[in-house]
Structure 1
Amino acid sequence: MITLKGVRKEYSSEVAIGPVDLEIPEGGLTALVGPNGAGKSTLLTMVGRLLGIDEGTIEVAGYDVTKTASKDLAKIVSVLRQENHFITRLTVRQLVAFGRFPYSKGRMTVEDEEIVSRAIDFLDLTDLEDRYLDQLSGGQRQRAYVAMVLSQDTEYVLLDEPLNNLDMRHSVQMMKHLRRAAEELDRTIVIVLHDINFAGHYADHICAVKDGSVVEFGTPAQIMTDDVLTRVFETPVNVVDGPNGPLAVYY
């Protein structure tokens, strides 16, 4: 479980996150949604200790992220940021192997190599593992980064807008991979999404963030309603029955 109690981050007298009280259950996929500038990515990076907090506590699997040693936290939670500045002369396999650093410290064992291979296979990158990153499409490169995070072999995985710059087909493929990771690899995945319909279709829980606060948390059935989405996004939303579940239509 991920637990935030009284968490606050203040940037100025007019811009602040929190105080936030939130419990994200263990297992499955939880989507953070909300308008631009709502604080979704800030919450995620605070949970992953990539950004400090001014007040409150954050615990992941019972570990206080502000007090746990980095070498130990890296075996509990892994984070993929929105901005990935890749080195072109890295191959896919070399990139994915970075996920093993908390364990190998740069000295890869046979077990490390096996875990890297499994992550590459899981993201359907086997035929590309010897290709350099600048030889890949945006969708292929994004899969390589997710494979790197999965190879870190943490129970908790935090992903900040992994669908960024992906077209519809690659976005669907990515969400299917993440859904499988949650189910087959028994990971707890927290993901920042802009598309509420992806959240409604693939997530187990949806956390709606607005103006630096968590305003709604529940199952897709609880969040995917006209009233809730209209209130969160401050624009008229009509939720209709789609072939695979509820769909939000903006008008």
Structure 2
Amino acid sequence: MITLDNVRKDYATDVRIGPLDVTIPEGGVTALIGPNGAGKSTLLTMVGRLLGLDAGTVTIAGHDVTRTPSKKLARVVSVLRQENHFVTRLTVRQLVGLGRFPHSSGRLTTEDEQVISDAIDFLDLRDLERRHLDELSGGQRQRAYVAMVLAQETPYVLLDEPLNNLDMRHAVAMMTHLRRAADTLGRTIVVVLHDVNFAARYSDHMLALKDGVVVEQGPPAEIMRDDVLTRIFETPVAVVDGPHGPVACYC
């Protein structure tokens, strides 16, 4: 379980994220949604200790993220930021191997190599593992980044807009992989998504932010309603029944 207790981040006298009092359940997929500038990525990066807090506490599985040693925290939670700046001449396998650093400190064992291979296979990257990152499509690189995060073998995985720049086919494939990671590997996945329909289709829990605070949270059935989405996004939204559940249509 991830708990934010009175968490706040101040950017200016009139720009603030929080205070946030949030509990993200253990297990499954939790999607963070909301309009641009709502604070979704800020919340995620504070949880992952990539951004400091101005007030409050964040705990993951009972670990205070501001006080837990980095090496120990890296075995609890892994984070994939929206922008990645890895050396493009890394191969896919080398990139995925970076996920083992908290366990091996760069000295890969036979066990580490097996975990790397498992992550590569899980994301269907076996045919690409010797290719360099700059030789891949955007969707292939995104899968490689997620494989790296999964190779870290943390119970909690934080992903900031993993569907960014992906077309519909690759976005569906990515969310299918994440759903499978939650269901078959037992990971708790927390993901920032812009598309509420992807969030509703693949998540167990949705958390909506607006103007730096949480305005709605609950299972997709409670969030995917005309009045709720219209209020969150400040534009008319109609929710209709689709073959896999509710679908939001922007009027």
Range into which the TM-score falls when normalised by the shorter chain: over 0.9
Aligned to 1:59: 59
Q: Which residue of 2 aligns with 1:26?
A: 26
- What corresponds to 2:13 in structure 1? 13
Q: Which residue of 1 aligns with 2:68?
A: 68
Q: Aligned letter for 1:149?
A: V
Q: How far apart, in 1, do the equivalents of 2:243 and 2:157 lie?
A: 30
Shift of 1:175: 0.3
**1:86: how far off?**
2.8
Query: 2:152 maps to what in 1?
Result: 152
| 1:89-141 deviations in Å (ceiling 9; x for gaps) | 10000000000000100000000000000000000000110001111110000
Q: Which residue of 1 aligns with 2:217?
A: 217
Secondary structure of 2:78's match?
A: strand
CA shift, 1:174, in A, is 0.2
Distance across 1 between alignment mates of 2:142 and 2:42: 21
Aligned to 1:83: 83
Q: Distance in 1 between matches of 2:55 and 2:86?
A: 33
Please state how far the C-alpha of 1:88 moved relative to its aligned partner: 1.6
| Distance in 1 (alpha carbons) for counterparts of 2:126 and 2:191 | 25
1:188 counterpart letter in structure 2: T
Query: d(CA) in 1 for partners of 2:115 and 2:244?
Result: 34
Q: CA deviation digits over 1:179-223, x for unaligned, max 9? A: 000000000000000000000100000000000000101000000
TM-score, with length taken from structure 2: 0.99
- The SS at the match of 2:6 is strand
Aligned to 2:40: 40
Q: How many residues align?
A: 251
C-alpha deviation, 1:85, in angstroms: 1.6
* TM alignment of 1:148-227, pairs within 5 A: 148-227=148-227
Which secondary structure state, in structure 1, belongs to the residue aligned with residue 12 of structure 2?
coil
**What is the DSSP-based 3-state SS (H/G/I as helix, E as strand, rest coil) of the residue aligned with 1:116?**
helix
Give the deviation of 1:161 after TM superposition: 0.1
Q: Per-residue deviation at 1:244?
A: 1.1
**2:88 & 2:234 partners in 1: Cα distance?**
41
Post-superposition shift, 1:247? 0.3
Runs of 4+ in 1 over 3 A off after TM superposition: none
The 5-angstrom pairing of residues 98-109 of structure 1 reads 98-109=98-109
Q: Secondary structure at the match of 1:9?
A: strand
Alignment gaps of 5+ in structure 1: none
SS at match of 1:11: strand
| TM-score, normalised with respect to structure 1 | 0.99
2-side partners of 1:171 and 1:223: how far apart?
21
Matched residue, 1:243: 243
The alignment yields a C-alpha RMSD, in angstroms, of 0.4
Superposed CA deviations along residues 222-247 of structure 1, whole A, max 9, x for unmatched, are 00000110010010000001111100
Q: Distance in 1 between matches of 2:88 and 2:145?
A: 13
